[in-house]
Amino acid sequence: MGAEQHVLLLIGFRQGQPLHEPVHAEAIGPGRYRLLYSPGLVQGIAAGDEFRLTDDTGAFEVTRRSGNLAVQVFANEPVAPYVAELAACISRLGGSLDGKIERGLTFSIPVAIGFAAVEDFFTRWADGHEGWEWYYGNVYDPADGITPLLWWV
């Protein structure tokens, strides 16, 4: 529908100022977007989700879920030597590598694969690689980080 563009989404606030992550999105209507790749820092949204901005800080509301889990991985070392292996493993689960920075990766994985398969894979990976951690980016409420959003039920 619309051309790919960058939209600034709210990560949080520091000293009262909004912190943003630029994300790739497609306009699907007036003030409405479809996220093309899961973000590396923003919480509460994954690739394919449709959303609208709620104010000029970059706060947003997800209006339709795509069925993808966003998984954010962080390491205490450069991730480049592991990217191909991880991307291949996630591809076998039906997912994709959506983003990378020097010490972080972001993946999108269909929730249909099941939480157990995702958790088993990433927990084994983190246990075998000291200093690596992983988190769901869109499973828990960003307000408290512990309340499940339950969009998958």
User: Would you list the domain boundaries of the chain?
Assistant: 4-64, 68-136
How high is the pLDDT of residue 1?
A: 61
- 82 three-class SS: helix
Beta pairing class for 50-53 and 60-64: antiparallel
Read off the pLDDT of residues 73-126 as tens digits, 9 standing for 90 and up: 999 999 999 999 999 999 999 999 999 999 999 999 999 999 999 999 999 999
CB atoms under 10 Å from CB of 16, counted, come to 5
Q: Is the pLDDT of residue 2 over 80?
A: no
Q: Once rounded to an integer, what is the mean pLDDT over residues 46-52? A: 99
pTM value > 0.85: yes
Read off the pLDDT of residues 25-42 as tens digits, 9 standing for 90 and up: 999 999 899 999 999 999
> What's the rounded Cα separation, in Å, for the pair 113 and 105?
20
Domain 68-136 class, CATH top level: alpha beta
- Looking at residue 137, its amino acid is G
SS3 percent helix, strand, coil of the chain, rounded to 5, is 20, 40, 40
Report the percent of the chain where pLDDT is more than 90: 97
How high is the pLDDT of residue 3?
A: 85
Buried-state track 41-80, b at ≥16 Cβ within 10 A, e below 16: bbbbbbbbbbbebeeeebebebeebbebbbbbbbbeeebe
In angstroms, what CA-CA distances link 34 with 5, 44, 87, 122? 10, 14, 23, 27
Average pLDDT score over the chain: 97
